[in-house]
Amino acid sequence: MVIGVGLLGLLVGLLSGFMGAGGAIITVPALVYVAGIPVETAISTSLIMGAVIPITALLPRLRQGLVAWKAVAAVTVAGIPAAWGGTLVGTLLSAKVTLLIFAVLMIASGVQMLRKRPNPPEEGRTPRAWVLRALVVGVFVGFLTGLLGVGGGFITVPALVLALDIPIGTAIGTSLAIAILNSVAALLAHLGASAPDWGIAVVFAIPAAVASVVSAYFAGRVHHRVLQIAFAVLVFAVAAFTIVQAATS
């Protein structure tokens, strides 16, 4: 189990460093089926990783100025209270329903990654409309973070590009900053309902942090389209496995 969790951390770190997101969407189902821990514990444990692992992937992007702090502020203002709301709703759902929601979200994420995204300029829309869209993005992403223990990167990145007109490179760095803040808020909300497994979190986080630093350094040398297709195939496979396991358990 320890080896399996460590390898999972390595995979999540690679995805986080290369694309600014991606690991958390497979972390909870993997912790449930690889580590054998309850869904509630897997979610709170995933939130620890969601708060820590993106830091190492964010650092090189901070040096490159690839974070839109105005978007971070607007999205997290709405996202933090929404994360608490998602946590409350999550306590009302059964483990099977939660895993099936994960599977649907994974399929949606895979489809999003297969789509070719435009790279529009940051200007061109009124400031008021931009702020309203940012708040809507924040509520949606924050709610999912609290409900499912995911940073929401593969929802946040396309939302930042398509709704807020942020270039893809900056959107990735911005998504990492948002994921950290939302994960911390959701973790605080979850601590009253379910305690994380700190041992698994450490075993997972160490290889993930190292992998995210290395992959973030090389991210500019690998074509994003190759990574997007590879990730889509991975999440489709995990989603199918999760649906089968949830339906037969």
Q: With beta carbons less than 8 A apart as the criterion, state whether 173 and 157 touch.
A: no
Burial class for 22, CB neighbours closer than 10 Å (0-12, 13-18, 19+):
buried
Confidence band (pLDDT; 50, 70, 90) for 151? low
pLDDT of amino acid 61: 81
Confidence band (pLDDT; 50, 70, 90) for 156? confident
Higher pLDDT, 220 or 72: 72
Joined together, the tokens standing for residue 165 give 């007109």
First to last CA, the chain: 21
In this structure, what DSSP letter does residue 124 have? S
Average pLDDT, integer, range 121-130: 66
pLDDT of amino acid 164: 86
Joined together, the tokens standing for residue 85 give 């709301």
Average pLDDT, integer, range 76-95: 86
In the block, tokens 């590009």 appear at 161
pLDDT of amino acid 19: 63
Q: Is 166 left (phi over 0), alpha (psi -120 to 50) or beta?
A: beta
Confidence band (pLDDT; 50, 70, 90) for 75? very high
In this structure, what DSSP letter does residue 68 have? -
Higher pLDDT, 54 or 68: 68
The span from the CA of 244 to the CA of 183, in Å, is: 28
Q: Return mean pLDDT, the chain.
A: 79
Query: Cα dihedral sign for 233, 1, 13, 207?
Result: negative
The span from the CA of 26 to the CA of 18, in Å, is: 16
Higher pLDDT, 76 or 7: 76
Strands of 7-144, DSSP E: none
The span from the CA of 198 to the CA of 249, in Å, is: 26
The whole-model pTM stands at 0.72
Residue 22 above 70 pLDDT? no
The span from the CA of 25 to the CA of 144, in Å, is: 11
The span from the CA of 71 to the CA of 51, in Å, is: 18
Torsion of CA 16, 191, 200, 214, to 10 degrees: 20
